[in-house]
Amino acid sequence: MVVPPPPNSAKSSSAAAASTRIPTIDLSSITTNRQALSKLIVEACEKYGFFKLINHGIPQDSVSRVEEEAISFFAMPTAEKLATSSQNAPPINSTTRIGYGIRNIGCSGDMGEIEYLLLSARPSSVSQLALSLSKNPSNFSRVLNGYIQEIKDVACELLDLMAEGLGISDTSIFSRMILDDHNVSLFRINRYRPFPDDIINHPPPNTIGFSEHTDPQIFTILRSNDVGGFHISVNDGSWVPVSPDPTAYFIIIGDLFQVLTNGRFVNVKHRVATNIEPKPRMSMAYFAAPSLNALISPLKEMVTSNQPCLYKPFTWGEYRAHIYSLPLASSKLDFVKIKPN
Ligand SMILES: O=C(O)CCC(=O)C(=O)O
Ligand SMILES: [Fe+2]
């Protein structure tokens, strides 16, 4: 069954009402109603750049095993965690490295009440890093690589459905990007630290875990434990809290998808506030990305006389190098927008 979003009621300030506006896609109807499902997914990506995915087929056991590895990693003393991120870890740019990080969430001084483990989604890279991260590296890499493969399979299924729903003749055009041997997809585990006991009852309002941003990749598949704090920005500019659901995934459209679809899919702004619960929020995000030399431009089917081409062509490598020098909240796509004469 597919649960369509209720009509977009005028600006509602009620968190509960706002939360119900988030479209829910039930992947179990893929065999019985593929076409209708693909249309609903496209509608959600056009309207919100975001949807909740249920009945995705990823076993809860796989998720729990990753969570256990993450919990034991984060339980280590900070000095030990910092020591795992040697200067030899592969840099993504001048300030972000694969491995453990704390508070620093950008290259322009963005800070948050967060610690994280950033991994390349490549199995050989996970296995290599496991040697410094875990006392049982073979178990760590088996658990992480197994889970990342399951997420990647769902990602490919969704990308094909999106291409179908958009009416693109080459329906594997998006999934091939992330299946490319040189794709630079990432997997990140975020832990938002709870407040110390003495201030837990009076936390500073809207303390930021992860400040507002769009994800630069194609899309992100996010899952969290049962602790809230995640918000998305909707078209009218208001922030909508997303109720946590550890059994579901949340799909976040990124900058590249907005370009590939010539603006039909929207790159949704999101953020995490950590001002509510004593338990830490823990989330896991798979960032689906192509290879660095992939040429990104609006697909020809997406460019029409009514919707002229909005973006110049660029490679993912060029875009990634550019945006990592910008503050997290900046409008990164301005860099590639075609300016009207
Ligand atoms: O931790 C979350 O819930 C969201 C994190 C996020 O937006 C990110 O890692 O890009
Ligand atoms: Fe994000």
**d(C-alpha 184, C-alpha 172), whole Å:** 18
The first and second tokens of residue 80, run together, are 């030990």
**114 CB neighbour count, 10 Å cutoff:** 23
Predicted confidence at residue 254, as pLDDT, reads 98
What spacing in Å lies between the alpha carbon of 185 and ligand 2's midpoint? 14
Predicted confidence at residue 2, as pLDDT, reads 36
Q: Which of 109, 111, 107, 103 is nearest to 94 (CA)?
A: 107
**pLDDT, tens digit, 9 for 90 and up, residues 249-292:** 999 999 999 999 999 999 999 999 876 667 899 999 999 999 99
What spacing in Å lies between the alpha carbon of 169 and ligand 1's midpoint? 33
**d(C-alpha 128, C-alpha 139), whole Å:** 13
Cβ–ligand 1 contact at 188 (below 6 Å): yes
Predicted confidence at residue 16, as pLDDT, reads 46
**d(C-alpha 73, C-alpha 51), whole Å:** 30
Ligand 1 test: best mutation among 50, 113, 190, most atoms within 8 Å of CB? 190
The domains of the chain are located at 9-291
What spacing in Å lies between the alpha carbon of 41 and ligand 1's midpoint? 21
Which one of the ligands is nearest to 267 CA? 2
Q: Which stretches in the chain have pLDDT values below 50?
A: 1-13, 16-17, 20, 94-95
Q: Which residue has the tokens 């709870």?
A: 194
Q: What is the DSSP string of 242-262?
A: ----TT-EEEEE-HHHHHHTT
Is the separation of the CB atoms in 288 and 185 below 8 Å?
A: yes
Predicted confidence at residue 92, as pLDDT, reads 58
**pLDDT, tens digit, 9 for 90 and up, residues 302-313:** 999 999 999 999
Cβ–ligand 1 contact at 257 (below 6 Å): no
Predicted confidence at residue 267, as pLDDT, reads 97
Angle at 257 between CA 251 and CA 5, to 5 degrees: 40
Strand partners, 39: none
Residues in the chain: 341
Predicted confidence at residue 5, as pLDDT, reads 38
Q: Determine which one of 122, 191, 223, 281 is catalytic.
A: 281
**d(C-alpha 246, C-alpha 283), whole Å:** 9
In this structure, the residue with its CA closest to atom 2 of ligand 1 is 283
What spacing in Å lies between the alpha carbon of 15 and ligand 1's midpoint? 20
Cβ–ligand 1 contact at 148 (below 6 Å): no
Predicted confidence at residue 328, as pLDDT, reads 83
Predicted confidence at residue 3, as pLDDT, reads 38
Predicted confidence at residue 339, as pLDDT, reads 83
Q: Is 103 a catalytic residue?
A: no
Predicted confidence at residue 208, as pLDDT, reads 81
* Chain center to CA of 54: 16
Look up the pTM and report it: 0.91
Cβ–ligand 1 contact at 222 (below 6 Å): yes
Q: Which residue has the tokens 């992947």?
A: 27
Label residue 121 exposed, middle or buried (CB < 10 Å: 0-12, 13-18, 19+).
buried
- CATH for 9-291 is 2.60.120.330
Which one of the ligands is nearest to 186 CA? 1
ipTM of the complex: 0.99
